[in-house]
Amino acid sequence: MTPITVIPGVVFGDGSLQFICGPCVIESEESIHRLAAGIGASLGAPYVFKASFDKANRSSVDSYRGPGMKAGLKILASVKKSMGLPILTDIHEPSQCAKVAEVADVLQIPAFLCRQTDLLLEAGKTGRIVNIKKGQFVAPLDLRHAADKVASTGNTKIILTERGSSFGYNNLVVDMRGLVMMRSIGYPVVFDATHSVQLPGAAGSKSGGSPEFIAPLSRAAVATGIDGVFLEVHDNPAAALSDGANALKLDLLQSLAETLRRLHAARIG
């Protein structure tokens, strides 16, 4: 496996444990800067800041989606400049890739879109790191086909992310064997601990969640062997405009990160 350097100190696949953290969606410029600073203080180390400028796959047509690409990228660029943080954000259409790549260090392929060939190809052509989220309907080893599409552009800066698999209606489960299988494809693997505890559509017009399982699933994933942990973090999940039901409360992040780092050190020690 070839390590993938996002910025110095944030390298996936070199034996370290990295963090991708931030709110689900951009709610305001002030909230984004506040959360980015709070997450940085909690982690005490460089990390990848994530937030979406548009959530194009919300349950309801009335759900908040974000400020849009133009305004959203401007906000993300301000975080990147003022705090020196690398940025990850979602892309949904091939036409977005080049423009988003001007700001984002990591282009994220949403789980529902992990088989969209044109999107994967255009993301690869930007030369940016591409984080492919495994669809809830995709077998772990089958994610290699999505990775192959990106790699066909000559870009092998690929990260694969597990976010749970559909199990009946309105429920997700995580098979820890899948993390091992995905890692055998040859790219760094990240565990998305917060989307994995989501209950899709369980709250009627929006998704529910079981955030009490974020910590135990994260511990299990780190013990299994991964390169990074993805966490949607909010300082007031009950008031979050998207995915609050499965978000990690900011004041719990420091303790969780310390535990995961100890587990990782014990595993590789």
Segment among 28-32, 193-197, 242-246 with least mean pLDDT: 242-246
What CATH number does the domain containing 186 carry? 3.20.20.70
Segment among 43-57, 84-98, 142-156, 205-219 with least mean pLDDT: 205-219
Distance CA 100, CA 248 (A): 26
Q: Count up the domains in the chain and report the number.
A: 1
Domain interval for residue 21? 4-268
How confident is the model over 116-136, as a mean pLDDT? 98
DSSP string spanning 2-35? Answer: --EEEETTEEESSS--EEEEE-SB---HHHHHHH
pLDDT of residue 200: 80
DSSP string spanning 170-182? Answer: S-EE--THHHHHH
63 CB-contact burial (10 Å; exposed 0-12 / middle 13-18 / buried 19+): middle
Q: Is the pLDDT of residue 209 over 90?
A: no
pLDDT in tens, 14-58: 999 999 999 999 999 999 999 999 999 999 999 999 999 998 876
Say which DSSP state 77 is in.
H
User: Strand 10-12 to strand 4-7: parallel, antiparallel, or no bridges (unpaired)?
Assistant: antiparallel
pLDDT of residue 47: 98
Say which DSSP state 204 is in.
S
Say which DSSP state 150 is in.
H
Task: Give Dmax over CA atoms of the chain in angstroms.
Answer: 50
pLDDT of residue 5: 98
